[in-house]
Amino acid sequence: MPNDPDQARTYREYIVCYATPVIAEDISAGISEWDPDARVHLCSAPEEALDLLRRRPQVHALISAEPPAELASSGLLRTLGGKGGRLVWLATREDIDTAEVDTSVIALDVPFTTATLHAALSKLGDG
């Protein structure tokens, strides 16, 4: 019996954690445009993101406006790293410039455009 080609297909998983649904959907659409095979999961709070992370073997990226220090203190960044993923942090230029952020974090200035989202996603690599 031949293998189902859809089962052999590889894809990346992303988690978008954003409290405003319309913005989360916009981010999700931008990810899907950049990575057509992506599986994007939406949530509105870091606790939900942590639950989603725990239920997946790998996650390519978490996109969130939560400050990295807060995500680190909850253990979310450690869990994300253990799943092979990186954080794309949505923040103002002022917050980015004043925060002490690990080099693994990809900062994306808000407001963002689809082009700047795609540029941030390209920094993730093939992971």
Inter-helix orientation angle 114-122/21-34, to 10°: 60
Summarised one tens digit per residue, pLDDT across range 30-59 is 999 999 999 999 999 999 999 999 999 999
Does pTM top 0.95 for this prediction?
A: no
Mean of all residue pLDDT scores within the chain? 91
- Cα–Cα distance measured from residue 72 to residue 74, given in angstroms and rounded to the nearest whole number: 5
Asked, for residue 62, whether it belongs to a domain, the answer is: yes
Query: How many folded domains does the chain comprise?
Result: 1
Residue 105, domain extent: 11-122
pLDDT at 102: 85
Torsion over CA of 56, 103, 31 and 24, rounded to 10 degrees?
80
CATH number of the domain that residue 30 is part of: 3.40.50.2300
Q: What are phi and psi of 26, to 5 degrees?
A: -65, -45
Classify residue 87: in a domain, yes or no. yes
127 within a domain of the structure (yes/no)? no
Residues of the chain below pLDDT 70:
1-9, 127
Assess if residue 1 is contained within a domain.
no
